[in-house]
Amino acid sequence: MKKIAALFLMLALIASFAFAAGGKEEGKKPAYPTKPIQVVVPAGAGGDTDLNCRILGKYLEKELGQAIVTVNVGGAGGSLGTRKVKDAPPDGYMALFFHPGMLLNKVMGLVDFSFQDMEVAGLAVLDETNIFAANAKAPYNNMAELAKVLKEKPKSLSFATEVGSFTHLHVLAYQEAAGVEFNIVDVGGAAAKTAALKGRQIDIIGTQYGLVKDYIKNGDFKAVGVLSDKRNQAFPDVPTFKEVGFNVAFTKFFFYSFPKGTPKEIVDTFSAALKKVVENPDYQKEAFNALYVTPTYKNPKDTFDFLSNEEAIYIKYLGKK
């Protein structure tokens, strides 16, 4: 009887040890993730990058079973936050959520690294709602009327951007297509640009429609052009740049990446969770209602190829080698 009791006690101790170890087989690493994941947004709070990241994060937490902590690290066109992640330990607990600005920083010579120097984890969002917005009382209602003002008085209108950002590319492309020139002012990220236009310190801003839709609805702002191939059904009264004679259109995209050397199984686990989120109807509805964006998943390889193609377009346009 004592031997049987001792045997049961030994089995109980073994089971207790296995439970404390998380039920993992000896020699195997704990499943990822086992603690909160920090996701760096290389821009200030309140912009479209920040909002997209926070909405995605809420759903990723359910898929990964750990908290997703959004960390805003703005400055230098996003390169400060990008570098923070690039230089972090490759253990899967710090990721980057960014957009074309990462590619543009390299193309424009602001930094010497880009997505090739990280482990791309997947693309989540496409955005066809990038606009130029002005004060509602401005004497121009589309990009052709705006060009007429600038041709009559070059540099008479100020355009707010952040050097090296996606909107910087937009204004450069429009200037070339229209043969005009703005007074380009670096005011910082999306929230700072909105504040500058609201305070009438700036004439024009490049932004995402969802970020300023309330100002447009209440009559403070108006959209004078959308940088898409066709009008957006969410705001059909806004003309495209193309339909008034300027062949300028860009799609914004948002993707995740990890430090170089992050194990493939970690990247794949995160990417698989991202796929489930992007395909979740609840997420799709929330993302559209908030920002009019199009949830779109691409796996790590397809995302890398997509980014390579986009980079080639930027290099060609900006004349860099």
Structure tokens at 150: 């600038």
Same domain, 115 and 196: no
Residue 51 maps to a domain: yes
Residue 16 maps to a domain: no
Instruction: Provide the domain limits for residue 205.
Output: 130-244
Same domain, 151 and 58: no
- Distance (Å, rounded) from C-alpha 172 to C-alpha 257? 27
Structure tokens at 162: 């952040």
Same domain, 172 and 266: no
Same domain, 58 and 206: no
Q: For residue 182, what is the DSSP state?
A: -
Same domain, 136 and 123: no
Count of structural domains within the chain: 2
Same domain, 143 and 223: yes
Q: Which of 210, 244, 278 is the last residue of a domain?
A: 244
Residue 21 maps to a domain: no
Q: What is the CATH number of the domain that holds 57?
A: 3.40.190.150
- Asked whether the beta carbons of 59 and 283 are under 8 A apart, the reply is yes
Does the structure show a pLDDT above 50 at 1? no
Residue 171 maps to a domain: yes
Closest CA to 315 of 161, 132, 105, 115: 105
Residue 157 maps to a domain: yes
Q: What is the CATH number of the domain that holds 162?
A: 3.40.190.10
**How confident is the model over 254-287, as pLDDT tens digits?**
999 999 999 999 999 999 999 999 999 999 999 9
Pairing verdict, β 94-98 and 204-208 = unpaired
Same domain, 138 and 220: yes
The whole-number pLDDT of residue 28 equals: 57
- Distance (Å, rounded) from C-alpha 128 to C-alpha 177? 20
Same domain, 228 and 145: yes
- Asked whether the beta carbons of 266 and 32 are under 8 A apart, the reply is yes
Residue 8 maps to a domain: no
- Distance (Å, rounded) from C-alpha 148 to C-alpha 180? 9
Same domain, 63 and 115: yes
**How confident is the model over 180-230, as pLDDT tens digits?**
999 999 998 888 999 999 999 999 999 999 999 999 999 999 999 999 999
Does the structure show a pLDDT above 90 at 34? yes
Residue 165 maps to a domain: yes
Same domain, 230 and 150: yes
Predicted structure pTM score? 0.83
Lowest mean pLDDT among 23-37, 73-87, 157-171, 279-293: 23-37
The whole-number pLDDT of residue 5 equals: 46
Same domain, 117 and 262: yes
Q: Which of 227, 244, 261 is the last residue of a domain?
A: 244
Residue 152 maps to a domain: yes
Q: Which of 214, 244, 274 is the last residue of a domain?
A: 244
Same domain, 110 and 43: yes
